[in-house]
């Protein structure tokens, strides 16, 4: 991946978009964490905002940063969402879910009037080619694996490192990382994945990202959809 300085530049630039009174979607991962910390500093200086976390970690970091938090059902909408990504293509389609948080991220990010992805250069690609995380109901994973293979994918149940058995998401589900090779048509694959019984959510974010801030060694590259 990229350097922490690159991630910090992207996150801090995105945090500058937060306006007085905003409801802000707080993404998950090391790059979004820089935005959360920067928003916390702005709150310390008097900025009035409410943050909607997207995961256990995002919520914990928001509390630690002093950002008032609320859940999505307590607000009338989200003004701005800031989140990371695992890969982003030339059309601003993205693969997310490296941190296993993509189900709640997608709800919050899609609800936002403006969705800004913060990334380092290692996330940018001409076309999406990383495995697509697919969150599934626990006892359906074998059936969904067969369906994913039928779509030309190669699914792998995501194993945990510090416990026996698979990764379990904040929602109590399992994750299949499904390799489809180069994803030439993200919209079609997204629709197909969403239609599979047992799939809770997948990590293809199509027609959702409005702006990408790519932190570089000497600044931030901005891409608008």
Which residues sit at the interface with ligand DER, rule CB under 6 A? 1, 27-31, 83-86, 96-99, 101-102, 105
- Shortest spacing between CB 11 and ligand DER, in angstroms: 9
Which residue, 30 or 216, has its beta carbon nearer to ligand DER? 30
How far is it between the farthest Cα atoms of the chain? 54
Distances (CA, A) of 131 to 39, 117, 189, 196, 203: 31, 19, 12, 17, 9
Whether 99 has a binding-site annotation, put simply, is yes
- Shortest spacing between CB 202 and ligand DER, in angstroms: 11
Whether 86 has a binding-site annotation, put simply, is yes
Q: Are strands 112-119 and 174-179 parallel, antiparallel or unpaired?
A: unpaired
Which residue, 30 or 143, has its beta carbon nearer to ligand DER? 30
Annotated catalytic, 105?
A: yes
Which helix (H) or strand (E) is 189 found in, with range?
helix 186-194
Annotated catalytic residue: which of 12, 20, 105, 161?
105
Whether 221 has a binding-site annotation, put simply, is no
- Shortest spacing between CB 27 and ligand DER, in angstroms: 6
Return d(Cα 45, Cα 47) in angstroms, integer: 6
Which residue, 13 or 143, has its beta carbon nearer to ligand DER? 13
**Nearest residue to 101 via CA among 205, 207, 185:** 205
Return d(Cα 64, Cα 37) in angstroms, integer: 9
- The number of CA neighbours under 13 Å toward the Cβ of 113 is 11
Residue ranges for the known binding site are 28-31, 83-86, 96-99, 123
Residue ranges for the known binding site for substrate are 28-31, 83-86, 96-99, 123
Which residues belong to the active site?
105
């Amino acid at each position: 991946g990229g350097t922490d300085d690159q991630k910090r530049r992207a996150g801090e630039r995105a945090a500058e978009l937060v306006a007085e009174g905003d409801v802000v979607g707080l993404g998950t991962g090391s790059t979004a964490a820089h935005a959360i910390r920067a928003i916390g500093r702005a709150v310390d200086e008097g900025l009035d905002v409410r943050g909607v976390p997207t995961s256990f970690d995002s919520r914990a970091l928001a509390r630690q940063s002093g950002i008032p938090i609320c859940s999505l059902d307590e607000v009338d909408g989200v003004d701005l969402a800031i989140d990371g990504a695992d890969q982003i293509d030339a059309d601003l389609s993205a693969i997310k879910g490296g941190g296993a948080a993509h189900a709640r991220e997608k709800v919050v990010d899609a609800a936002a009037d403006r969705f800004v992805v913060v990334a380092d250069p290692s996330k940018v690609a001409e076309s999406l080619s990383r495995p697509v995380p697919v969150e599934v109901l626990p006892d359906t994973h074998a059936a969904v694996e067969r369906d994913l293979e039928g779509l030309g994918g190669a699914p792998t149940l995501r194993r945990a490192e510090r416990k026996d058995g698979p990764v379990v998401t904040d929602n109590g589900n399992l994750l299949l990382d499904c390799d489809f090779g180069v994803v030439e048509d993200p919209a079609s694959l997204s629709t197909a994945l969403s239609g599979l019984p047992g799939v809770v959510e997948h990590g293809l974010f199509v027609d959702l990202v409005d702006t990408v801030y790519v932190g570089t060694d000497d600044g931030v590259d901005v891409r608008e959809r």
